[in-house]
A and B are shown apart, each in its own frame.
Chain A
Amino acid sequence: MEDTCDVLGSEGLIKKHEFVRIIVQCLYSLGYAKSASFLESESGVSYKSEEFRLLESHVINGNWDGCISFLNSLRDLLGETRDSAVFLVLRQCLMEYLKHGEDKLALDVLRKRVSGLHVDRYKIHGLANSMLSLKDVGVDGDVVIDSRKDLLKDLEKLLPPPIAVPERRLEHLVETTITAWVDSCLYHTSLGPVSLYEDHRCGRDQIPTTTTQILTGHRNEVWFVQFSNNGEHLASSSNDCTAIIWKVLEDGKLTLKHTLCGHQHAVSFVVWSPDDTKLLTCGNTEVLKLWDVETGTCMQTFGNQGFVVSSCAWFPNSKQFVCGSSDPEKGICMWDCEGNEIKAWRGMRMPKVVDISVTPDGEYLISIFLDKEIRILHLGTNVERVISEEHPITSLSVSGDSKFFIVNLNSQEIHMWDVAGQWDKPLRYTGHKQRKYVIRSCFGGLNGKFIASGSENSQVYIWNTRNSKPIEVLSGHSLTVNCVSWNPKRPQMLASASDDHTVRIWGPQLLGEKKRCNLN
């Protein structure tokens, strides 16, 4: 017999008999019953405790009163749990009476013993209802034994340790460790099972850190860049009054597809329709134009000279969109692709709209108002929530799963909030520079667990959402980086737009070896 004081582990924190017992449980649950029972005899550690064996014999023999007095005798069993366990025993007793045709006895159990228990009313009503159908009398012995075994399994889940061990204890302990590894893995970009042989840590080799391409299509500062939802195209817009659509090729290189001309002034904002067939462009002193992606032609122009649009957002149906104006008189308007105005939120109280976004699931409209106010409107119920920031906000970006959004502030912080409104404080990310200009950030990477942002010091910053300090700082641009976009389908591809007239594409350091295995 093992000495129950034996300990394991380098700090002596693990009790040996407990350790062996959960290994035995694990072997049984994996189906290795022979090994399990051999281990029990070799180690002298039995999986089933003495108390449990007592309960087991009561259950197998149908000694219900014995079961109940056993359950009542356990001091560690909390009142509610005890009643749930007693309920299970009485239910078995009742069902067996019914099977034997002893309806009156069954009824007695229900009325005299079950109805007094502190369990959910529905359980009791359900039991009453099960008496309705005439059970087939004439019992199959095996069926009874099996149902008693099931009862024992259910009771085991309710018993406290050390009488019973919680289910799958060893698996749970290992998974707790793995989860802790993953949570603290800064560069975590792998999906699926994690190896137990080494403490898990992803290397930086999966994150975009080096320039793989420089796009020089624009002739002036590039202010905005965004990948299409399917990751096959990139749109960029510039102070040179054009927007460019680039195609992403199989091998990850980008080529120019269309240059969209027609605007009179700088184009500061571009947004893809959810189905990626259309593009909206607008500028701070410009009208709104709708383009067909395939042909590169302008399909509609909205508004006239006086109508100035600062930002816009599509609804999931790719047929309607909203736009916000930096003109205080205009407010927010909703249009369809044919040029019809559907709805407008106007009024004297409507301050200037800095940025606007619709969550991908179509449920919320989030807008940034002059220039410290965030308004989150639930489109279904028309309920609006307001968050007031302390510093001017320059841009807004929503996560792909519609649950979070980030805003860039002139105080050199990026704040993340939850759409549903349960957080009373935002998560903060710092490290980049932003004092004067509009700098934009985005979610990205595998599972949207990373944030990237431009910065006034010409670098691109990358954070893991779990950490407020950046994990990567990318150098290459020579002037302020205004905007970044992470390819939604290629988590290793990042694009940045800069005042130095270029768009840079970033990829992982070992791009040449193209390790694709982790992505699946």
Chain B
Amino acid sequence: MAAHFDTEYQRLEASYSDSPPGEENLLVHIPDGNKSPWHHIENLDLFFQRVYNLHQKNGFTCMLLGEVFELVQLLFVVGFTVFLANCVDYDILFANKFVNHTDSSKVTLPDAFLPVDVCGASIRDNVAVMFVLMISGVFWLHRLIKFIYNVCCYWEIRSFYTNALKMSMAELPYFTWQEVQARIVEIQKEHQICIHKKELTELDIYHRILRFKNYMVAMVNKSLLPVRFRPPLLGESVFYTRGLKYNFELIFFWGPGSLFESEWSLKPQYKRGGNRLELADKLASRILWIGIANLLLCPVVLVWQILYAFFSYTEVIKREPGSLGARCWSLYGRCYLRHFNELDHELMSRLSKGYKASSRYMNCFLSPLLTVVAKNVAFFAGSLLAVLIALTIYDEDVLAVEHVLSSITLLGVCITVCRSFIPDKHLVYCPEQLLRLILAHIHYMPDHWQGNAHRYETRDQFSQLFQYKAVFILEELTSPLVTPFILIFSLRRKSLEIIDFFRNFTVEVVGVGDTCSFAQMDIRQHGHPAWMSEGKTEASIYQQAEDGKTELSLMHFAITNPQWQPPTETTHFISQLKERVQRETTGDRQTLTSLSGSEPRSLIANFLAGPPSLASLHLGRDGSLTDHGPVGVNDGASALRSLSVSSTRGSCSSAHRSAGHASFASRAMPGSSTDARTASSGSSVWEGQLTSLVLSEYASTEMSIHALYIHELHKQQSGGELSRHTWHRQDSDDSSDSVTEEGGSGGGNPNPRNLIPRSHTFPISTPISTPGPIPSSNSGPNPDRGPTPGQEVTPLQSNSQRRYGGNTDSVGPGGRVVRSERVPMGGWAEQGRGGRHPDTVPEEGSEDDMPPNTHKVT
């Protein structure tokens, strides 16, 4: 029996031999472990920012070195200043006092130094010096701690690059950001950096990196920030310095008690309209306190600014004195010209491309009076200099005479300065063309500049964007003094508008957090009917981004990130626009040649001739174009790529050909270009960096074409009259953010009441409120601008209809579809309806009938 049992048992075990015995008779799991430390990163904003920074700073070592040198520099600046002030016996240097040397009569540098103990004593006795030393000591320590902290953080990013993205630090400078980004999108699939979504999009990354910058751009766009002033004597000017910017960011984004509770979310109470007045009060008092703090810290900051400016610029000025006369893009300009979702390097490359044209444009405006004076001063200084130099050549002892060397130097500087006021003899005065060329790169421009490029007002306004380096430095130096007052007196008054702005223009995007709704680049929400999105936009005047910023930003983003999949409506807009641009640019190749070349004339000629001629050109070619039209509809990104390739190719090839050849080339293009596209922007992320660089070149050219086209169309749609009625332009200058449009037809209706506000761009606040024509020109961008709606809506519609008719007439029926599919009345009616509560500050109405604007966007 027992034996039987025994055998049974044996047999059983044999048959189940593959299952483990005992309590192991359970499911066995294999842990996946945390092989990568990159899943689920807590602060993605900071993370992406760091990834971007590290890329921009060309890798870890470069960054480390840079920071170390900065620290050393700081020590040096302070130490050297103190040394110069206290430890040098200037009497010896200037040879007012003689040194008793036993062996030789030469004065050496060490002779001029005071002994250490004397020097130390004098430093200790001097309270001011001790104060400066202490301040800078604290500052330096802060920087040191920050540095150490940064090193730790960036070390992590470095390993992210090497381990997760598989890019070594050595080759990082040779990757474009788009490539890095594509890698990040790729690894999200395996590492799940962001836990909300399976896949990251390019827009998500941009949103996170540029979250606050987008807000700033939007605020500048809606003229919310007090950066325009009208001080006596100086006229209308813009004051926006780094110090001011820092303070704005401190107040809004990250300072104690700021509107944001973390990097990614606005405090909930600011999303509700309920107690906006209370919140505005709170904000106002915060601004006051920060202003006062600024005032108290002012001496410290001032000293620092002066020291810093002295040491960073003196060397440059000595080396090339002309650099002070050179220009740079002002901080305001950078904000005004920036697209939504545009990274620093994209902006900078764009602006740098426009630099040459811009400075040439500015040079057109040398004052003739100054030129005459400068010529003569230069003559006299030159003759003196010539004599001195001749004498020196004859006998160099002349140099030993007191002040001869210094006067030679001074005269040299003087001549250089004068020369910068004397225009180049061979300079051709063609501001309109230059401005067009500038526009191709900077993409934004107020309407009234067009056709008025030769006017001094235009130049002055442009100089607000493109200022003298010297002015820039001066502004930075005065910034500590002015900033507190701007905060206390100017910004504080806007607190309610700021609160409203943040409430109205914040959307919560799943996986990204609270972002500026403008940055969504949604035509429907923020499009401007005068900028291509007529009929598509449902935005009220308050919600429209000025200057066609939404539309241009959208194009820019789509072009720079061809892999991006926009929502369907947006895709439609993009492809439609692209199709039209494509039609017109293939119709005329010269445009492109002039863009890539430096000769603006042909470009201008084309655009001055205007789309009608282009239209007639392309009409005959319609057949050939239709076959790649659908490509654009189906896949915006790819069509875009193909266009950019083809267009630039076309430009290269047609540069040497006649127009007839060019058209042939353009017809041959689509095939070859698609090849190029599939080869380059296919699924593989591994591409030669050359290709992607080339692509980015194409992209920028293409964006230029689009920008020009959009502006041209905008001008046609709405601004055509502006250049003709110059009196009118004056008015439109004055209205801060709404331009009046001539209401009655042609002069048949002189009634100024019919002037309607068209939302307008370059907000110029003149204190002289316009008499008459403009319903109410509130200086500043405040949302409760404007016209009483009832009064405006009717003329609006009739007027737009009239213009529509006029437009089609001029173009010819069917020649060019200026408006897309809907009758413009729809768009205007929308706008009129939006104007129902034009003072969008919803006292009690708006927040009730529409929920707080922070709806979820998935």
A, B co-complexed: no
